Amino acid sequence: MRYVSTRGGIAPVRFKDAVMMGLADDGGLLLPEDIPLVSADELEAWRTLNYPELAFRIISRFVDDIPAADLKTLIDRSYATFSHPEVAPVVHQDGVYILELFHGVTLAFKDVALQFLGNLFEYILAERTQRLTIVGATSGDTGSAAIHGVRGKAGISIFILHPHGKTSPVQALQMTSVLDENVHNIAVDGTFDDCQDIVKALMADLEFKQTYGLGAVNSINWARVLAQVVYYFYAWCRVAKPGQKVVFSVPTGNFGDIFAGYIAWQMGLPIEKLLLATNENNILTRFINDGDYSVGAVVQTLSPSMDIQIASNFERYLYYLFNKDAGRVRSAFDQLKNEDKISFSTQELEQVKRVFSSCSIGRRETLDTISDFRKKTGYLLDPHTAVGVRAAQKIASDEVPRICLATAHPAKFGEAVTEATGEQVPLPSAIARLEGAPTRCDQLPADKERVRRLIIATVEPVR
Ligand SMILES: *Cc1c(COP(=O)(O)O)cnc(C)c1O
């Protein structure tokens, strides 16, 4: 299996190089040259597999440069850290199916991908006797999942910048209570944008980047998408009859999660529609419903992990929408740069609607959904999941099984849940035991030189 760039500017690479490259060297995103197909018979045979077994069947289709036994071990280790024996169980509540993706160490679905990516990085680095210094900015979820994905791993150091006092207390604790020597938390006196600007500036300094082996774990890494494809198959196997089509409702920010569903659809999983649910940051809903892909300002909502305007994985979908025409992808992003929008033909928009439908859910409706669901079923939804559940109730018919992806545990966003229901959310042990735990974190001004000096003082140059 070889990987190509959406911008068409690199020679094809194999899986391990695609993982290490992250962003393609031509500025595009990496995608498999061909998508493997899964037959109806195979799907039926997969029903009895447990999560790691199924993950191996799917992931190995995309990987031909890691021996099967090694890949199996990497996958088994990644999902052994989940607290639920099923890894991603499906529950049926009030006419919808909830795919619980929050049983990983940081209680959000990003663990599904980042546990695997951490193990994969360690394996490839050991084989190549290389070292990697991960530098990233976070407003909460990604940073903690990344830290837990690589803590204690040989050959990897990680520096995560978060805006001091601006993440939720739980999110901050999930990061700063990790005391492994290779983990470095930096609380920046500034905003998330300041953090991101510092990371971008450090990455743009090629001399520094190469000397210290800087890399990223953001959602554009192909291995993250690949790991997420698995749970679409897993949920289908739990819910659907042979050959039966289902709808997946996906609370969407960076388009990584739902893009994995799109890959599953291309592989032949019987999917009627992928329902893209957004909060008030609704550029992707405007795109799907009206062909309007014009960038607005980011607004803060109850579902902060979806507060995004430019979804980084969207480029991957455009590559397929444009029939793998890298030239058309390049011109679309030139237009975006110059005009803050991308224009589409009528025929392209018809194509989009064959797979996707979309709905934007505001603050009031999100709170009402959490409280209605609680009253009817006793089940607590986190605000991200509530956006997806509401979208499914609104625009998907109940004649087709509706599977809603639950992307975070309600206790992780307890304030919103309490606002909706008036109840305190009981803390799962993974959070409760953080209370009063020792922490380690450097507090720095929003100054890239100070961050650079900290990295230089902490890690040895890689060359
Ligand atoms: C990251 C995240 C999302 C959005 O997922 P994307 O892949 O960025 O679309 C939704 N919910 C939660 C809780 C998240 O952490």
Instruction: Identify the H or E element spanning 40.
Output: helix 40-46
Residues whose CB falls within 8 Å of the CB of residue 208, separated by 6 or more in sequence, listed in order = 202, 214, 452
Tell me which of 16, 110, 166, 448 is the catalytic residue: 110
The angle subtended at Cα 416 by Cα 410 and Cα 422, nearest 5°, is: 95
Structure tokens of 148? 């837990």
Query: Taking a C-beta distance cutoff of 8 angstroms, is the pair 88, 55 a contact?
Result: no
Ligand 1 pocket, residue 182 CB under 6 Å: no
CA 392 to ligand 1 center in whole angstroms: 17
Which tokens sit at 314?
Answer: 């969207």
Task: Decide: 121 and 88 in contact? Cβ < 8 Å.
Answer: no
Torsion of CA 390, 392, 393, 394, to 10 degrees: 90
User: Can 324 be counted among the known catalytic residues?
Assistant: no
> d(Cα 205, Cα 75) in Å, to the nearest integer?
35
Q: Which two tokens stand for residue 311?
A: 């979804």
Question: Which of the listed residues 306, 307, 313 should we mutate to test ligand 1's pocket, taking the one with most ligand atoms within 8 A of CB?
Answer: 306
pLDDT in tens, the chain (463 residues): 999 999 999 999 999 999 998 888 888 999 999 999 999 999 999 999 999 999 999 999 999 999 999 999 999 999 999 999 999 999 999 999 999 999 999 999 999 999 999 999 999 999 999 999 999 998 878 899 999 999 999 999 999 999 998 888 888 999 999 999 999 999 999 988 899 889 989 988 889 989 999 988 877 899 999 999 999 999 999 999 999 999 999 999 999 999 999 999 999 999 999 999 999 999 999 999 999 999 988 898 999 899 888 888 999 999 999 999 999 999 999 999 999 999 999 999 999 999 999 999 999 999 999 999 999 999 999 999 999 999 999 998 989 999 999 999 999 999 999 999 999 999 898 889 998 999 999 999 999 999 999 999 999 998 7
User: What three-state secondary structure class fits 249?
Assistant: strand
Q: What are phi and psi of 81, to 5 degrees?
A: -80, -5
CA atoms of 77 and 62, how far apart (whole Å): 19
32 CA to centre of ligand 1 in angstroms: 23
Q: What is the model's pTM? A: 0.96
Pocket test for ligand 1, best of 221, 258, 384, 412 (most atoms within 8 A of CB): 384
